[in-house]
Amino acid sequence: MIRNLRCLMFLLGLIVSSAAAEEWREFTSTLGRKVTGKVLRVENEVVTLERRDGKQFAIEFKDLCDEDVEWLRKREAGKPAPGEAEDRGEGESTVSFPTAEELNKSLYPRGQEEIERTLKEILAREIPEGIDEKAGKAVNRLNAYRYLCGVSHHVEADARMNEQATEAAKACDAHGSLSHDLGHFTDICNLSSGPDVVGSVEGYMNDGGANNREARGHRRWCLNPPMGKVGFGGGSKFAAMACMDTTGKDKAGDTWCYPGKGFFPLAYLHGDGWSFYLREGSPSRNALEIEVFRLESRPAKPFTWADKEPGEKLEIAWISSKMNAINFEPKGANKEGIYWVRIRGAGVREQYLVELY
């Protein structure tokens, strides 16, 4: 079963702190996970906490236990929160993101503040009339990933495609396992074990398992630039995504990737496989050379090919190519850090930065 992304932050073991001990508080998620942090701000029932390294992340009230929600409500009402003294001292700190002037746009297409604001807008989009709530939320989740990866994030839910996906999921139910050869639209759908329609999006993006490692085709369909409509549905044991639409406005550049270029929230990175996409077919894996370096700090400008070793070189455990996708697995690149990626061979010559935060 794929879990809710908001709860994934807890599963990743995020630890937060502040300089003053009296500002610390241990929060507990609805899953029972505990996290210690400093409250930076509370808006629209979302609390922003600060991590030990000064970076921040947000948690919705509904993902916190009742005691913590009560504490936050009383705190925001100006009353002494349970266990807190009357005089709380100076006001709270504000979130500090790098300004646009501090970032090189060729390395960082979007600032962190813009990313957090846009993700919040996408995930809160109203579900259209006549669309199942779970299917609508799954579409919003899909658009969040598409936004982060640099392709159009205005894919719409389609009632007919929802019906196709539901029929495909139920066909898998009757068969007892996943198969694209059952008819009932199974050949035009991503298929997922488990009936969690919303959580299946994370599974498609992860695209883990030995049978998916070569192509990571579920992810490729999720990030297909011309997708304009999509359908989601579930049965009793399986879920499906009708994904082969091409009626949308293609707003991707010449290349796009997962994780996306520039800042990328770690909560949206699943598994150990990275992907890079070309407009045309990708070269043979044997013709490709892929390097990934972990940098000590943000570069002021892009590295050139003459910069032989811009950082710590990571081992590449796997390289594959399929259709327009190049898939690779850099060891140790599934945690916070700044990474420089180089891909070359058979006419491909690309390099870009990813900062996981």
pLDDT score for 253: 81
What integer pLDDT is reported at residue 219 of this predicted model? 98
Tokens coding 185:
């639209």
What confidence score (pLDDT) does residue 76 get? 77
Please check whether the domain covering 5-76 is classified as CATH 2.60.40.10.
no
Is the CB of residue 235 less than 8 Å from the CB of residue 291?
no
Q: What is the pLDDT of residue 277?
A: 97
> What pLDDT shows up at residue 125?
96
Structure tokens given for 265: 């929230």
State residue 328's pLDDT score: 98
pLDDT of residue 18: 30
CB atoms within 10 A of CB 341: 22
Q: Which residues have CB under 8 Å from 176's CB, separation 6+?
A: none
What pLDDT shows up at residue 13? 39
Residue 95 is predicted with a pLDDT of 54
Task: Give the pLDDT confidence of 169-186 residue by residue, as tens digits.
Answer: 999 999 999 999 999 999
| Cβ–Cβ under 8 Å, residues 196 and 218 | no
The predicted-structure confidence for 183-217, as pLDDT tens digits, reads as follows: 999 999 999 999 999 999 999 999 999 999 999 99
Helix (H) or strand (E) segment spanning residue 282: none
Query: Is 316 strand, coil or helix?
Result: strand
pLDDT band at 99 (very low <50, low <70, confident <90, very high): confident
Residue 14 has pLDDT above 80, yes or no: no
Long-range contacts of 312-318 (CB under 8 A, 24+ apart): 314/339, 316/290, 316/291, 316/292, 317/272, 318/213, 318/273
* Residues 117-162 pLDDT 10s: 999 999 999 999 999 999 999 999 999 999 999 999 999 999 999 9
Q: Whole-angstrom Cα distance, residue 298 to residue 108?
A: 10
What pLDDT, on a 0 to 100 scale, did the predictor assign at position 278?
A: 96
CATH label, 112-242, candidates 3.30.470.10, 3.40.33.10, 3.20.20.140, 1.10.287.310: 3.40.33.10
Local structure of residue 308 (DSSP, 8 states): S
Sheet strands (E) in the chain: 25-28, 34-43, 46-50, 56-60, 156-157, 189-193, 229-234, 238-242, 255-258, 262-264, 274-278, 289-295, 312-313, 316-322, 325-330, 337-345, 348-356
Q: What is the pLDDT of residue 155?
A: 97
Compute the average pLDDT of residues 22-48: 77
E runs forming strands in 103-155? none
- How confident is the model over 245-251, as a mean pLDDT? 90
Q: What average pLDDT score do residues 281-300 get?
A: 95
DSSP 8-state symbol, 19:
S
For 259-271, what is each residue's pLDDT tens digit? 999 999 999 999 9
H/E segment holding residue 211? none
How many angstroms separate the CA atoms of 13 and 355, rounded?
19
pLDDT category, 15, cuts 50, 70, 90? very low
Mean pLDDT for all residues in the chain: 86
pLDDT at 52: 62
pLDDT of 7 over the 60 cut: no
346 or 32, which is more confident: 346
How distant, in Å, are the alpha carbons of 111, 200, 234 from that of 116? 9, 22, 30
Lowest-confidence segment of 85-99, 262-276, 322-336 by average pLDDT: 85-99
Cis check: omega of the bond before 225, within 30 degrees of 0: no
Q: How many CB atoms lie within 10 A of CB 97?
A: 18
Q: Are 327 and 274 in contact (CB under 8 A)?
A: yes
Helix/strand/coil (H, E, C) string of 168-203?
HHHHHHHHCCCCCCCCCCHHHEEEEECCCCCCHHHH
Tell me how crowded residue 85 is: count the other CB atoms within 10 A of its CB.
9
Domain assignments of the chain as residue spans, ordered by start: 5-76, 112-242
Degrees to nearest 5, angle at CA 160 with 137 and 270: 35
pTM of the model: 0.74
For residue 60, give the 3-state DSSP assignment: strand
